[in-house]
Amino acid sequence: MNRREFIKNAAVAGAGLFILPSGLRAAKNGPNSKLNIALIGTWGRGAAHFDSLSTENLVALCDINEDHLAFGAKRFPNAKTYIDWRKMLDDHKKLGLDAVVACTADHTHAFIANWSLNRDLHCYMEKPIAITVEEARVVRANWMKKKGKLATQVGMQRHAMQNFNRVRELVRDGAIGELTAAYAWGNRQVKPAGADYDEKKGILFYKDQPNRPAGYLPAAGEPPKGLHYDLWLGPSYEHPYNPGYFALGPGANCLSWNMFWDFGAGQIGDMGSHTMDLCWNAIDATLPTTAEAKGDPFNPDITPIKCESHFDLPANDWRGPIRVSWYQGRVLPPSPKKYIDLKEIDHGAMFKGTKGYVICSFNDRVVVPFGDTADFTYYKPRTPDKVLPPLGHFQEQWLNACKNPSLKTACDFEYSANMIELMLLGLVAYRAGKKLQYDPVKGQVTNHPSANQYLSRQYREGWKLNG
């Protein structure tokens, strides 16, 4: 049977046969071929991907909000639409899917990443890749089995700023001597709808009920038509609907819900993923051997606003062991000089060496030498041919790697899962209230076994992490 006869017979057979876009499979992995991509989450961060994805075949859209789904369908009218991403991924063969871009609520990220990898689909996942240590480890393990065959990227798009390269060069090439410590911080103090914050006590409370600690939002009416709230809850415990979980606009709505334990990891999963990336990119770290943290009094519903966590990391082939720290909620590391006000950098990083400091934001950096020997005669700047090249367009880097998986992406699921595992282990230490000894191979706390309960979370029936 020739191709013309096949198409004719398929038309007679009826609508049950899904015809792939013309020209895709003939050269699936060629640089000029187009990918069949599904977008999960079609509003907010999802819309930020429209232009990049328009160069490929966007064959499926998924969103739990039918209004948002319609918004995406206006841009991609030929895409098949879904409200449940599980159904969409189960249809991956029918759709002829090659890749998935996911822009959903944080508590579903590890699920979608695992389901995509297990179906041999390339995956771009908005940050964070996970909200528990266990989730990060499962995603990384699945990715390592497919590395070199599938392309992955976590949406830490600030990584494409050239300042990331310049900071890495300064630290790696010894501008501050031997590296001994690294710090990252963010200054946000995000509060649930209707809540206020007592900075001295570190307590969140409702403005209209100051004696009641703030927690998950109370029941308030029914979800609007077209909002599939139960699917939004996904694997997390049931909580009554409240419009406060959806109060903010595109690009900021995550700040309505990501501070709740069942829905996110607070500032660690939000700007913490971007800011620690500044640090992580420069220090060539793997996983920590210790973790300790302190912050606001524990709230069983809401992650802390103010918190700091500290980790010991082993030596590698170019530096000795170092201490890495994360600060949030306007808690800051000590400044190296009285005249340097770190509060002026809302999200930044700092590196301490034997001869000085590098202090940076996403866009710029300064070097602060100290000591009589910090004369810079020891530092040899790179020649132009050795300077790290620009990363280029962050999403396009992933698209190119999908077509040629031997290409490396900057924030793949190994790099990103390692980084978020460290950050999330800080929340485990915060909840345990103890300094933890950690076995990074087994993923277990060794000195306080009771802390291991915080490495994972329970899921609702019908939701499988490694599906």
What are the tens digits of pLDDT across the range 444-460? Answer: 999 999 999 999 999 99
Domains of the chain and CATH, by start: 3-158 (3.40.50.720), 160-189+267-391+412-455 (3.30.360.10), 195-242+254-263 (no CATH)
Cα torsion 18, 19, 25, 31: sign: negative
Residue 29 predicted with pLDDT over 60: no
pLDDT band at 31 (very low <50, low <70, confident <90, very high): low
Nearest to 189 by CA among 309, 322, 331, 78: 331
Backbone angles phi, psi at 307, to 5 degrees: -165, 150
For residue 207, what pLDDT is reported? 87
Residue linked to tokens 């990331």: 164
Separation CA 247–CA 249 (nearest Å): 7
Residue 223: DSSP 8-state: P
Separation CA 443–CA 385 (nearest Å): 41
pLDDT band at 7 (very low <50, low <70, confident <90, very high): very low
In contact, 74 and 95? CB cutoff 8 Å: no
**pTM, full prediction:** 0.92
